[in-house]
Structure 1
Amino acid sequence: MAHDERRLEVLRAIVQDYVSTNDPVGSKALAERHDLGVSPATIRNDMAVLEEQGYITQPHTSAGRVPTDKGYRLFVDRLSAVKPLSTAERRAIERFLDGAVDLHDVLSRSVRLLAQLTRQVAVVQYPALSRSAVRHLEVVQLAAARLMLVLITDTGRVEQRIVDTPVDVGADAVAELRTLLNAAFAGAKLVDAGGKVPDLLDTAPPHLRGLVATVSATLLETLVEPGEDRLVIGGTANLARGNALDFPGTLQPLLEALEEQVVVLRLMTQVDASTVLVRIGEENAHEALTGASFVSVGYGAGDRALGGLGVVGPTRMDYPMNMAAVRAVARYVGHLLAES
């Protein structure tokens, strides 16, 4: 085995031991616990090289070594395969998510499930509206001069707005408006839909033009600036289970960043449906997350990611397990949404 390959084996062993025991790892323990096929002296030598290269470091209170962000990065990059979840775990995902009644239920169950499987903080993003299309526009008459516009997206999101009309509107006009709106917008991507509103005013039959003009501002607002993208978060109590070494300083900034959501949503913008992304420590641009790792993937139909989901936890986490859980839950959520 080449020197580099053997050192990688030593690094792997250090990462696995540190993740499972939470104790800095010494060469003697490595030699006893792992069949590395070399003498303790060689292991010590390899550890010295790994330390020199910045992959492991020595916490000042201990004789052992712990992986650095750079060490975890190399470990993750060189994972030969993400270990698949067991059949029992996959069945549990299926059973737990199959009972969901709507999009909100699917996502809140996914968060609880991910937090349980990984024992980290789980985050799931509502389907990003920028990636959604219009499934249906409903117009409901609430009173003679008051209508409600309801936008239903192909990702199961529902947005509703009230429109007050200057004059009373008859039931026939409401039905005609509904038909007109769906003919114009059904199937349109939300990013393109706003641009169609001016055309609608030009092409509406004369007797509906006043009504279309009245609803057009609300229509634009519903299509172009629908309710902000949201996150569902679960398992924050899992952060407190770690140990002081996991988060030097305090958990406060991390909890605040999760609470604010914007930080995590920004990280979610880069997800795609086929690759599990792992950001370790300093790679998370926000200072509150520099002591944490974020494992995420997109969920959706085929290659089209509708939103992202993932877990946030200390850099000392079981990466293969967390990557497998995140990927498995995302796939299942994708199947469920494709069927709805």
Structure 2
Amino acid sequence: MSGAGDRKQAVLRAIVADYIALQEPVASKTLVQRHNLAVSSATIRNDMAALEREGFIEQQHSSSGRVPTEKGYRAFVDALHEVKPLSAPERRAILGFLESGTDLEDVLRRSVQLLAQLTNQAAVVQLPTLEVSRVKHCEVVALSPTRLLLVLITDSGRVDQRNVELAAELCDSEVRLLRDTLNGVLVGATMAEASASLARLSAGAPVAIRDAVERATAVLIDTLVERSSDRILIAGAANLSMSNGAHGSDLRSVIAALEEQVVVLKLLAGAQELERINVRIGREMEDEEFSRAAVVSTAYGTAEALGGLGVVGPTHMDYPGTIQKVATVARYISRILRGE
């Protein structure tokens, strides 16, 4: 906060903390009673007047106390040099819940459910994108003589399934040959890298499976390359409608916007680095729907970021607690991915 003294910063922190806790405008008398600021009410009133002139707090009514502005919340968040870690029992409970997941998607589904419960806000997570994941294996399963299931497994643990309709029946040996032919160009490559090889694959395939190869590669290219999109999991959107006071109605547009996958991906756009928490508040976000919301996000992954996760809530959210929980869950997802 430019030009502000330590005491003014302490007063601002106290106002933000009290407003987050009580959801009521904060008066100077309340600050004296609740915080050890070691100055008189008159001094605090002078500090509050200065903070209001500088745009960190505002008075909604002439006779009311003060509430933080977006600028005030930003100063509060920027001053959070350290966030108290969760207790050992809390960390063990989170890790145990996540480790019970059967695969990566189940782990991520558990993650958003857990974050929504821990923060009482909406939680979002992005499944690993195929742009950075490399294919580990492509399994081909015969569902019927003329229908196949392609199961694509990546090194990040992502699993995608696609059906392929055949013009003619394939025997078991031909299904295995198709699997080996597809894996020959897929394994170790991203879908984008393999797309050119997939397009040429049918021309050199054995005659017996050439039509099946052509149909399988068309499905892979169409649904996993040309129309590849990041998948999003969301939990706890209803929590936003139960936000205290008038803020619940303010967040109705946020609830509606969360149904749009592109919008959610934009919310997670800042989550590109492991161990780095990104906080965006109100009009810092591009979309008008989120002008009364805040987003705390980070990335998860192994050696590099594979996706983002975060929490969406009102601007008066508990920033220290939310940052702590988002960071912890992301760290444990990364540990699970690394097999630690």
Give the TM-score normalised by the residue count of structure 2. Answer: 0.89
Task: Name which of structure 1's ranges 305-314 and 262-271 shifts more when overlaid on structure 2.
Answer: 262-271
Matched position secondary structure for 2:5: helix
1:20 Cα offset (Å): 1.0
Alpha carbons of 1:64 and 1:301: their partners in 2 closer, same or farther (altered >3 Å)?
Answer: same
- Equivalence map 1:257-336=2 (5 Å): 257-272=257-272, 273-302=274-303, 304-336=304-336
Once residues 141 and 242 of structure 1 are traced to their aligned partners in structure 2, the CA distance between those partners, rounded to angstroms, is 50
Counterpart for residue 50 of structure 1: 51
Matched position secondary structure for 1:312: strand
Structure 2 residues not aligned, in runs of 5+: none
Counterpart for residue 86 of structure 1: 87
Alpha carbons of 1:121 and 1:162: their partners in 2 closer, same or farther (altered >3 Å)?
Answer: closer
CA contact (8 A) 1:127 1:229 kept: yes
Alpha carbons of 1:228 and 1:95: their partners in 2 closer, same or farther (altered >3 Å)?
Answer: same
- Equivalence map 1:145-156=2 (5 Å): 145-156=146-157
Structure 1 residues not aligned, in runs of 5+: none
CA contact (8 A) 1:159 1:226 kept: no
1:179 Cα offset (Å): 1.6
Once residues 145 and 235 of structure 1 are traced to their aligned partners in structure 2, the CA distance between those partners, rounded to angstroms, is 41
Provide the aligned C-alpha RMSD in A.
2.4
Task: Name which of structure 1's ranges 78-87 and 213-222 shifts more when overlaid on structure 2.
Answer: 213-222
1:183 aligns with 2:184: yes
CA contact (8 A) 2:115 2:326 kept: yes
Counterpart for residue 121 of structure 1: 122
1:297 Cα offset (Å): 0.9
CA contact (8 A) 1:177 1:208 kept: yes
Once residues 8 and 236 of structure 1 are traced to their aligned partners in structure 2, the CA distance between those partners, rounded to angstroms, is 34
1:204 Cα offset (Å): 4.4
Once residues 250 and 75 of structure 2 are traced to their aligned partners in structure 1, the CA distance between those partners, rounded to angstroms, is 27
1:56 Cα offset (Å): 0.4
Give a deviation string over 1:118-140, Cα, whole Å, max 9, x none: 12122222223333221111122
1:40 Cα offset (Å): 2.6
Once residues 313 and 245 of structure 2 are traced to their aligned partners in structure 1, the CA distance between those partners, rounded to angstroms, is 13
Matched position secondary structure for 1:320: helix
Once residues 216 and 73 of structure 2 are traced to their aligned partners in structure 1, the CA distance between those partners, rounded to angstroms, is 54
CA contact (8 A) 2:281 2:315 kept: yes
Matched position secondary structure for 1:147: strand
Once residues 104 and 20 of structure 2 are traced to their aligned partners in structure 1, the CA distance between those partners, rounded to angstroms, is 35
Give the TM-score normalised by the residue count of structure 1. Answer: 0.89
1:41 aligns with 2:23: no
Counterpart for residue 220 of structure 1: 221
Matched position secondary structure for 2:305: strand
CA contact (8 A) 2:276 2:298 kept: yes
CA contact (8 A) 1:279 1:293 kept: yes
Once residues 269 and 77 of structure 1 are traced to their aligned partners in structure 2, the CA distance between those partners, rounded to angstroms, is 20
Counterpart for residue 159 of structure 2: 158
Counterpart for residue 74 of structure 1: 75
Q: Percent identity?
A: 51
CA contact (8 A) 1:299 1:307 kept: yes
1:61 Cα offset (Å): 6.5
1:210 Cα offset (Å): 4.9
Matching residue's letter, 2:163: I
1:115 Cα offset (Å): 1.6
1:222 Cα offset (Å): 4.0
